[in-house]
Protein backbone atom coordinates (compact mmCIF):
# COMPACT_ATOMS: atom_id res chain seq x y z
CA UNK A 1 0.00 0.00 0.00
CA UNK A 2 1.17 3.50 -0.88
CA UNK A 3 0.08 6.61 0.97
CA UNK A 4 -1.24 9.23 -1.45
CA UNK A 5 -2.84 12.67 -1.35
CA UNK A 6 -6.48 13.45 -1.93
CA UNK A 7 -8.45 12.09 1.01
CA UNK A 8 -12.00 11.18 -0.01
CA UNK A 9 -11.36 12.62 -3.48
CA UNK A 10 -8.39 10.34 -4.19
CA UNK A 11 -10.52 7.44 -5.52
CA UNK A 12 -11.85 7.82 -9.06
CA UNK A 13 -15.34 9.24 -9.41
CA UNK A 14 -15.60 11.11 -6.10
CA UNK A 15 -15.85 14.85 -5.45
CA UNK A 16 -16.29 16.82 -2.26
CA UNK A 17 -16.68 20.30 -0.87
CA UNK A 18 -17.22 22.16 2.38
CA UNK A 19 -18.62 25.65 3.06
CA UNK A 20 -19.77 27.89 5.87
CA UNK A 21 -23.54 28.12 5.74
CA UNK A 22 -24.24 29.78 9.08
CA UNK A 23 -25.09 26.96 11.47
CA UNK A 24 -21.95 27.90 13.39
CA UNK A 25 -21.63 31.52 14.46
CA UNK A 26 -17.92 31.68 13.61
CA UNK A 27 -17.88 32.59 9.93
CA UNK A 28 -14.29 31.37 9.54
CA UNK A 29 -15.38 27.79 10.22
CA UNK A 30 -16.95 25.59 7.55
CA UNK A 31 -20.04 23.77 8.76
CA UNK A 32 -21.57 21.95 5.78
CA UNK A 33 -19.91 19.17 3.77
CA UNK A 34 -20.90 17.18 0.70
CA UNK A 35 -19.28 14.11 -0.86
CA UNK A 36 -20.67 12.66 -4.09
CA UNK A 37 -19.92 9.73 -6.37
CA UNK A 38 -20.37 9.88 -10.12
CA UNK A 39 -22.40 6.67 -9.90
CA UNK A 40 -24.38 4.80 -7.27
CA UNK A 41 -22.00 3.02 -4.93
CA UNK A 42 -22.14 0.00 -2.68
CA UNK A 43 -22.64 1.30 0.85
CA UNK A 44 -21.87 -0.01 4.32
CA UNK A 45 -22.38 1.69 7.67
CA UNK A 46 -21.99 1.13 11.38
CA UNK A 47 -23.73 3.27 13.97
CA UNK A 48 -23.68 4.22 17.62
CA UNK A 49 -25.05 1.74 20.14
CA UNK A 50 -26.43 4.56 22.27
CA UNK A 51 -30.20 4.15 22.63
CA UNK A 52 -30.50 7.89 22.01
CA UNK A 53 -29.73 8.29 18.31
CA UNK A 54 -29.55 11.40 16.17
CA UNK A 55 -32.29 11.77 13.56
CA UNK A 56 -29.71 11.56 10.71
CA UNK A 57 -28.86 8.01 11.74
CA UNK A 58 -32.50 6.96 11.54
CA UNK A 59 -32.80 8.46 8.05
CA UNK A 60 -29.47 7.04 6.84
CA UNK A 61 -30.43 3.53 7.95
CA UNK A 62 -33.50 3.72 5.73
CA UNK A 63 -31.60 5.16 2.79
CA UNK A 64 -28.87 2.50 2.75
CA UNK A 65 -31.19 -0.43 3.48
CA UNK A 66 -30.80 -1.58 -0.14
CA UNK A 67 -27.00 -1.50 0.17
CA UNK A 68 -26.39 1.55 -2.04
CA UNK A 69 -25.88 5.31 -1.81
CA UNK A 70 -24.37 8.05 -3.96
CA UNK A 71 -23.80 11.05 -1.70
CA UNK A 72 -23.02 12.04 1.88
CA UNK A 73 -24.15 15.35 3.37
CA UNK A 74 -23.07 16.43 6.83
CA UNK A 75 -23.33 19.52 8.99
CA UNK A 76 -21.41 20.48 12.11
CA UNK A 77 -22.45 22.76 14.96
CA UNK A 78 -25.75 20.99 15.63
CA UNK A 79 -26.33 17.27 16.22
CA UNK A 80 -30.00 17.30 15.16
CA UNK A 81 -30.67 14.95 18.06
CA UNK A 82 -33.66 14.90 20.43
CA UNK A 83 -35.52 17.35 18.19
CA UNK A 84 -39.22 16.82 17.47
CA UNK A 85 -38.68 17.66 13.78
CA UNK A 86 -35.28 15.99 13.51
CA UNK A 87 -36.24 13.38 10.92
CA UNK A 88 -37.99 16.03 8.83
CA UNK A 89 -34.86 18.19 8.86
CA UNK A 90 -32.59 15.25 7.98
CA UNK A 91 -34.87 14.27 5.12
CA UNK A 92 -34.92 17.90 4.06
CA UNK A 93 -31.12 17.96 3.83
CA UNK A 94 -31.26 14.93 1.53
CA UNK A 95 -33.96 16.57 -0.60
CA UNK A 96 -31.74 19.63 -1.01
CA UNK A 97 -28.92 17.40 -2.25
CA UNK A 98 -31.31 15.93 -4.82
CA UNK A 99 -32.44 19.39 -5.90
CA UNK A 100 -28.91 20.67 -6.48
CA UNK A 101 -27.14 17.52 -7.75
CA UNK A 102 -29.84 15.34 -9.24
CA UNK A 103 -28.89 12.49 -6.90
CA UNK A 104 -32.02 10.85 -5.49
CA UNK A 105 -32.70 11.82 -1.89
CA UNK A 106 -33.04 8.13 -1.06
CA UNK A 107 -29.42 7.63 -2.12
CA UNK A 108 -28.07 10.23 0.31
CA UNK A 109 -26.35 9.46 3.61
CA UNK A 110 -27.00 12.28 6.07
CA UNK A 111 -25.06 13.07 9.24
CA UNK A 112 -24.89 15.83 11.84
CA UNK A 113 -22.57 16.61 14.73
CA UNK A 114 -22.58 19.25 17.45
CA UNK A 115 -24.82 20.26 20.33
CA UNK A 116 -27.61 17.85 21.30
CA UNK A 117 -31.17 19.10 21.81
CA UNK A 118 -30.85 22.36 19.90
CA UNK A 119 -33.30 22.84 16.99
CA UNK A 120 -31.67 22.81 13.56
CA UNK A 121 -33.04 25.12 10.90
CA UNK A 122 -33.02 23.98 7.30
CA UNK A 123 -32.85 27.60 6.11
CA UNK A 124 -29.07 28.19 6.19
CA UNK A 125 -28.46 24.82 4.58
CA UNK A 126 -30.94 25.59 1.81
CA UNK A 127 -29.38 29.00 1.24
CA UNK A 128 -25.90 27.55 0.69
CA UNK A 129 -26.55 24.16 -0.90
CA UNK A 130 -26.21 25.61 -4.40
CA UNK A 131 -22.78 27.02 -3.49
CA UNK A 132 -21.80 23.70 -1.92
CA UNK A 133 -22.89 21.59 -4.90
CA UNK A 134 -21.58 23.97 -7.56
CA UNK A 135 -18.15 23.98 -5.94
CA UNK A 136 -17.74 20.20 -5.83
CA UNK A 137 -14.22 19.13 -6.77
CA UNK A 138 -11.09 17.66 -5.26
CA UNK A 139 -11.76 19.45 -1.98
CA UNK A 140 -11.35 16.72 0.61
CA UNK A 141 -9.69 19.11 3.07
CA UNK A 142 -12.62 21.52 2.89
CA UNK A 143 -15.06 18.68 3.55
CA UNK A 144 -12.91 17.46 6.45
CA UNK A 145 -12.90 20.97 7.95
CA UNK A 146 -16.67 21.27 7.60
CA UNK A 147 -17.37 18.26 9.83
CA UNK A 148 -15.08 19.43 12.65
CA UNK A 149 -16.46 20.56 16.01
CA UNK A 150 -13.80 20.92 18.72
CA UNK A 151 -11.23 19.17 16.53
CA UNK A 152 -8.05 21.23 16.24
CA UNK A 153 -6.85 19.67 12.97
CA UNK A 154 -8.55 18.17 9.93
CA UNK A 155 -8.30 14.40 9.59
CA UNK A 156 -7.94 12.83 6.16
CA UNK A 157 -5.96 9.99 4.58
CA UNK A 158 -5.72 8.06 1.30
CA UNK A 159 -3.87 5.00 0.00
CA UNK A 160 -3.50 3.18 -3.29
CA UNK A 161 -3.38 -0.61 -3.53
CA UNK A 162 -3.66 -3.35 -6.14
CA UNK A 163 -6.74 -5.50 -6.48
CA UNK A 164 -7.17 -8.01 -9.28
CA UNK A 165 -4.36 -6.39 -11.25
CA UNK A 166 -5.99 -2.95 -11.08
CA UNK A 167 -4.86 0.06 -9.06
CA UNK A 168 -7.52 0.92 -6.51
CA UNK A 169 -7.68 3.86 -4.17
CA UNK A 170 -9.26 4.37 -0.79
CA UNK A 171 -9.61 7.64 1.11
CA UNK A 172 -11.33 8.98 4.20
CA UNK A 173 -12.10 11.97 6.37
CA UNK A 174 -13.05 11.82 10.03
CA UNK A 175 -13.83 13.89 13.09
CA UNK A 176 -14.42 13.29 16.75
CA UNK A 177 -12.46 14.48 19.72
CA UNK A 178 -14.97 14.32 22.57
CA UNK A 179 -17.75 11.87 23.54
CA UNK A 180 -15.53 9.11 22.22
CA UNK A 181 -16.11 5.62 23.55
CA UNK A 182 -17.94 4.38 20.54
CA UNK A 183 -18.29 0.62 20.91
CA UNK A 184 -19.05 0.64 17.17
CA UNK A 185 -17.42 3.51 15.38
CA UNK A 186 -16.34 6.98 16.35
CA UNK A 187 -18.13 10.24 15.93
CA UNK A 188 -18.07 10.57 12.13
CA UNK A 189 -15.90 8.84 9.52
CA UNK A 190 -16.61 8.81 5.80
CA UNK A 191 -14.63 6.45 3.56
CA UNK A 192 -14.61 6.33 -0.25
CA UNK A 193 -13.05 3.77 -2.57
CA UNK A 194 -13.12 3.09 -6.30
CA UNK A 195 -12.70 -0.64 -5.71
CA UNK A 196 -15.50 -2.85 -6.97
CA UNK A 197 -16.94 -4.85 -4.08
CA UNK A 198 -20.45 -6.01 -3.27
CA UNK A 199 -22.27 -4.20 -0.49
CA UNK A 200 -22.44 -7.49 1.44
CA UNK A 201 -18.65 -7.91 1.41
CA UNK A 202 -18.18 -4.19 2.09
CA UNK A 203 -20.33 -4.46 5.20
CA UNK A 204 -18.53 -7.61 6.26
CA UNK A 205 -15.13 -5.90 5.99
CA UNK A 206 -16.27 -2.77 7.81
CA UNK A 207 -17.98 -4.65 10.64
CA UNK A 208 -14.95 -6.89 11.12
CA UNK A 209 -12.42 -4.05 11.09
CA UNK A 210 -14.33 -1.79 13.44
CA UNK A 211 -13.85 -4.30 16.26
CA UNK A 212 -10.08 -3.77 16.23
CA UNK A 213 -10.03 -0.08 15.31
CA UNK A 214 -12.76 2.35 16.29
CA UNK A 215 -14.11 0.06 19.01
CA UNK A 216 -10.68 0.35 20.63
CA UNK A 217 -10.64 4.14 20.92
CA UNK A 218 -11.66 6.07 24.01
CA UNK A 219 -11.19 9.75 24.78
CA UNK A 220 -13.54 10.16 27.72
CA UNK A 221 -15.69 7.04 28.10
CA UNK A 222 -18.82 8.71 26.67
CA UNK A 223 -20.65 7.19 23.71
CA UNK A 224 -22.06 9.80 21.33
CA UNK A 225 -25.59 9.81 19.95
CA UNK A 226 -24.45 10.47 16.40
CA UNK A 227 -21.52 8.09 15.82
CA UNK A 228 -21.39 6.79 12.28
CA UNK A 229 -18.88 5.24 9.90
CA UNK A 230 -19.94 5.05 6.26
CA UNK A 231 -18.05 3.50 3.33
CA UNK A 232 -18.95 4.04 -0.33
CA UNK A 233 -17.41 1.82 -3.05
CA UNK A 234 -18.24 2.93 -6.61
CA UNK A 235 -16.27 0.32 -8.60
CA UNK A 236 -14.64 2.87 -10.92
CA UNK A 237 -11.21 1.21 -10.62
CA UNK A 238 -12.48 -1.55 -12.90
CA UNK A 239 -11.32 -4.57 -10.90
CA UNK A 240 -13.29 -7.78 -10.94
CA UNK A 241 -15.94 -7.23 -8.25
CA UNK A 242 -15.19 -8.80 -4.87
CA UNK A 243 -18.25 -10.88 -4.08
CA UNK A 244 -16.93 -13.41 -1.58
CA UNK A 245 -14.17 -14.12 0.88
CA UNK A 246 -10.69 -15.04 -0.32
CA UNK A 247 -7.47 -13.33 -1.40
CA UNK A 248 -9.04 -10.24 -3.00
CA UNK A 249 -11.39 -9.70 -0.07
CA UNK A 250 -8.49 -9.96 2.36
CA UNK A 251 -6.50 -7.39 0.39
CA UNK A 252 -9.42 -4.97 0.43
CA UNK A 253 -10.08 -5.53 4.11
CA UNK A 254 -6.43 -4.78 4.92
CA UNK A 255 -6.59 -1.54 2.91
CA UNK A 256 -9.74 -0.49 4.75
CA UNK A 257 -8.12 -1.43 8.06
CA UNK A 258 -5.11 0.75 7.26
CA UNK A 259 -7.35 3.77 6.74
CA UNK A 260 -9.37 3.10 9.88
CA UNK A 261 -6.31 2.51 12.05
CA UNK A 262 -4.75 5.78 10.85
CA UNK A 263 -7.88 7.72 11.79
CA UNK A 264 -7.99 6.01 15.20
CA UNK A 265 -4.61 7.50 16.02
CA UNK A 266 -5.60 10.91 14.65
CA UNK A 267 -8.82 11.05 16.63
CA UNK A 268 -7.23 9.87 19.88
CA UNK A 269 -4.30 12.27 19.56
CA UNK A 270 -6.66 15.18 18.95
CA UNK A 271 -8.91 14.31 21.90
CA UNK A 272 -10.47 17.33 23.54
CA UNK A 273 -7.73 19.19 25.39
CA UNK A 274 -5.27 16.36 24.75
CA UNK A 275 -1.51 16.85 24.69
CA UNK A 276 -0.54 13.19 24.19
CA UNK A 277 -1.56 10.15 22.17
CA UNK A 278 -1.66 7.05 24.36
CA UNK A 279 -1.35 3.65 22.69
CA UNK A 280 -1.88 0.66 24.98
CA UNK A 281 -0.47 -2.57 23.58
CA UNK A 282 -1.41 -5.75 25.44
CA UNK A 283 0.31 -9.06 24.65
CA UNK A 284 0.52 -12.50 26.22
CA UNK A 285 -3.19 -12.68 27.06
CA UNK A 286 -5.14 -15.93 27.31
CA UNK A 287 -7.23 -14.76 24.36
CA UNK A 288 -7.70 -11.78 22.09
CA UNK A 289 -10.88 -10.94 23.98
CA UNK A 290 -8.96 -10.72 27.26
CA UNK A 291 -6.32 -8.51 25.65
CA UNK A 292 -8.95 -6.14 24.27
CA UNK A 293 -10.74 -5.89 27.61
CA UNK A 294 -7.51 -5.05 29.43
CA UNK A 295 -6.33 -2.53 26.82
CA UNK A 296 -9.65 -0.65 26.86
CA UNK A 297 -9.75 -0.66 30.66
CA UNK A 298 -6.34 0.98 30.91
CA UNK A 299 -6.92 3.52 28.16
CA UNK A 300 -10.23 4.60 29.76
CA UNK A 301 -8.85 5.07 33.28
CA UNK A 302 -9.19 8.73 34.30
CA UNK A 303 -6.46 8.29 36.92
CA UNK A 304 -4.03 6.80 34.40
CA UNK A 305 -4.88 9.47 31.81
CA UNK A 306 -4.25 12.18 34.39
CA UNK A 307 -0.89 10.65 35.32
CA UNK A 308 0.16 10.68 31.67
CA UNK A 309 -0.76 14.37 31.44
CA UNK A 310 1.68 15.04 34.25
CA UNK A 311 4.34 12.69 32.83
CA UNK A 312 4.08 10.76 36.09
CA UNK A 313 5.17 7.10 35.82
CA UNK A 314 2.45 6.01 38.25
CA UNK A 315 2.37 2.44 36.98
CA UNK A 316 0.13 1.38 39.86
CA UNK A 317 -2.75 3.00 38.02
CA UNK A 318 -2.07 0.68 35.09
CA UNK A 319 -2.14 -2.37 37.35
CA UNK A 320 -5.28 -1.07 39.01
CA UNK A 321 -7.08 -0.79 35.66
CA UNK A 322 -5.89 -4.27 34.68
CA UNK A 323 -7.26 -5.60 37.95
CA UNK A 324 -10.77 -4.19 37.62
CA UNK A 325 -11.09 -4.87 33.88
CA UNK A 326 -13.08 -8.04 34.58
CA UNK A 327 -10.77 -10.16 32.43
CA UNK A 328 -9.14 -13.51 33.18
CA UNK A 329 -5.70 -12.25 34.22
CA UNK A 330 -3.06 -13.53 36.63
CA UNK A 331 -1.94 -10.22 38.13
CA UNK A 332 1.22 -11.85 39.49
CA UNK A 333 2.49 -12.31 35.92
CA UNK A 334 1.94 -8.79 34.60
CA UNK A 335 4.85 -6.77 33.16
CA UNK A 336 4.54 -3.07 32.31
CA UNK A 337 6.82 -0.70 30.37
CA UNK A 338 6.46 2.81 28.99
CA UNK A 339 7.95 3.68 25.59
CA UNK A 340 8.25 6.80 23.44
CA UNK A 341 10.71 8.44 21.07
CA UNK A 342 12.80 9.24 24.15
CA UNK A 343 13.29 5.56 25.01
CA UNK A 344 11.71 2.71 26.95
CA UNK A 345 11.57 2.10 30.69
CA UNK A 346 10.36 -0.98 32.59
CA UNK A 347 8.30 -0.12 35.67
CA UNK A 348 6.68 -3.41 36.71
CA UNK A 349 7.67 -7.08 36.52
CA UNK A 350 5.50 -10.03 37.58
CA UNK A 351 3.00 -7.72 39.23
CA UNK A 352 5.56 -5.86 41.34
CA UNK A 353 7.48 -2.64 40.93
CA UNK A 354 11.09 -2.58 39.78
CA UNK A 355 13.66 0.15 40.43
CA UNK A 356 13.75 2.83 37.75
CA UNK A 357 14.95 6.37 37.30
CA UNK A 358 12.18 8.93 37.83
CA UNK A 359 14.13 11.40 35.70
CA UNK A 360 14.35 8.95 32.80
CA UNK A 361 10.68 8.07 33.19
CA UNK A 362 9.74 11.76 33.09
CA UNK A 363 11.75 12.15 29.88
CA UNK A 364 10.01 9.16 28.27
CA UNK A 365 6.54 10.34 29.30
CA UNK A 366 7.07 13.95 28.24
CA UNK A 367 6.79 13.02 24.55
CA UNK A 368 3.50 13.58 22.69
CA UNK A 369 3.10 9.89 21.74
CA UNK A 370 3.42 7.24 24.44
CA UNK A 371 3.12 3.47 24.26
CA UNK A 372 1.99 1.52 27.31
CA UNK A 373 3.32 -2.01 26.91
CA UNK A 374 1.57 -4.64 29.01
CA UNK A 375 2.55 -8.31 28.91
CA UNK A 376 0.17 -10.69 30.70
CA UNK A 377 2.50 -13.69 30.15
CA UNK A 378 -0.39 -16.14 29.95
CA UNK A 379 -0.97 -16.83 26.24
CA UNK A 380 -0.75 -15.42 22.73
CA UNK A 381 -3.67 -12.99 22.68
CA UNK A 382 -2.88 -9.38 21.82
CA UNK A 383 -4.72 -6.11 21.21
CA UNK A 384 -4.16 -2.37 20.91
CA UNK A 385 -6.29 0.50 22.21
CA UNK A 386 -5.90 4.23 21.63
CA UNK A 387 -6.64 7.17 23.89
CA UNK A 388 -5.23 10.44 25.19
CA UNK A 389 -4.31 12.19 28.39
CA UNK A 390 -6.88 13.99 30.56
CA UNK A 391 -6.11 17.68 30.92
CA UNK A 392 -7.43 20.90 32.44
CA UNK A 393 -8.41 21.94 28.93
CA UNK A 394 -10.83 19.01 28.58
CA UNK A 395 -12.79 20.29 31.58
CA UNK A 396 -12.73 23.86 30.25
CA UNK A 397 -14.04 22.81 26.83
CA UNK A 398 -16.88 20.73 28.27
CA UNK A 399 -17.67 23.16 31.05
CA UNK A 400 -19.21 25.58 28.53
CA UNK A 401 -19.57 23.45 25.37
CA UNK A 402 -23.20 24.42 24.85
CA UNK A 403 -23.07 28.05 25.98
**What's the pLDDT score for residue 183?**
62
Question: pLDDT tens digits for 263-285?
Answer: 999 988 888 888 999 999 999 99
**What's the pLDDT score for residue 181?**
66
Average pLDDT estimate for 132-145: 97
**320, 307 in Cβ contact below 8 A?**
no
Domain boundaries, the chain: 2-269, 277-399
Question: pLDDT tens digits for 183-195?
Answer: 655 579 999 999 9
Q: Does residue 178 have a pLDDT over 90?
A: no
Domains 2-269 and 277-399 share a fold: no
Region of 244 please: left (phi>0), alpha (psi -120 to 50) or beta: beta
3-state secondary structure of 313: coil
Question: pLDDT tens digits for 319-352?
Answer: 999 999 999 999 999 999 999 999 999 999 999 9
Among residues of the chain, what percentage have pLDDT more than 70?
97
Q: Using CA atoms, how far apart are residues 74 and 86, in angstroms rounded to an integer?
A: 14
**What's the pLDDT score for residue 75?**
97
Q: Does residue 182 have a pLDDT over 70?
A: no
Query: Phi and psi of 350, rounded to 5°?
Result: 55, 45
Average pLDDT estimate for 148-167: 94
* Span 2-269 CATH architecture: 4-Layer Sandwich (3.60)
| Average pLDDT over all residues of the chain | 94
Mapped to the 3 state alphabet, what secondary structure does 214-268 carry?
A: HHHECCCCCCCCCCEEEEEECCCCCCCCECCCCHHHHHHHHHHHHHHHHHHHHHH
Question: pLDDT tens digits for 345-392?
Answer: 999 999 999 999 999 999 999 999 999 999 999 999 999 999 999 999
Q: Using CA atoms, how far apart are residues 366 and 89, in angstroms rounded to an integer?
A: 46
Q: Using CA atoms, how far apart are residues 260 and 254, in angstroms rounded to an integer?
A: 10
Contacts of 167 (CB under 8 A, 6+ apart): 160, 161, 237
Q: Which residues are catalytic?
A: 186
Question: pLDDT tens digits for 71-130?
Answer: 999 999 999 999 999 999 999 999 999 999 999 999 999 999 988 999 999 999 999 999
**What's the pLDDT score for residue 400?**
80
Pairing of strands 335-340, 369-375: antiparallel
3-state secondary structure of 182: coil
Please list the residues that pair with 160 across neighbouring strands: 2, 169
Q: Using CA atoms, how far apart are residues 225 and 392, in angstroms rounded to an integer?
A: 25
Q: pTM for this structure?
A: 0.91
Confidence band (pLDDT; 50, 70, 90) for 51? confident
**DSSP H helical segments within 64-179, as ranges?**
86-101, 123-134, 140-146
How far, CA to CA in Å, does 342 sit from each of 17, 199, 268, 299? Answer: 40, 45, 20, 21
Say which CATH superfamily domain 277-399 falls into: ArgJ beta chain, C-terminal domain (3.10.20.340)
Average pLDDT estimate for 39-47: 97
| Sheet-wide strand order for 343-349 | 352-353, 343-349, 335-340, 369-375, 277-285, 381-388
- Give the CA count within 13 Å in the CB-facing half-sphere of 368: 9
Q: Using CA atoms, how far apart are residues 211 and 213, in angstroms rounded to an integer?
A: 6
Amino acid sequence: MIKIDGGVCAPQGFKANGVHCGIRKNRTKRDLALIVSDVRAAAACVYTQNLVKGAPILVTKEHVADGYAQAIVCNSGNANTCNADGVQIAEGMCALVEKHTGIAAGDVVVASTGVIGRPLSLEPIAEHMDELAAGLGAYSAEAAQAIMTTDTVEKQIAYSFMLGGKECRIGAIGKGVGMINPNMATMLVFVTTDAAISHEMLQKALSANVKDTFNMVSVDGDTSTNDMVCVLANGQAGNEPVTGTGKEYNIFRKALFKVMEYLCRCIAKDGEGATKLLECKVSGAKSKSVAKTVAKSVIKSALFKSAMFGADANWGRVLCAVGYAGADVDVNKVDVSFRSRAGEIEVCSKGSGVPFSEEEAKRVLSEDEIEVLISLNSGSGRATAWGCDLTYEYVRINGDYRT
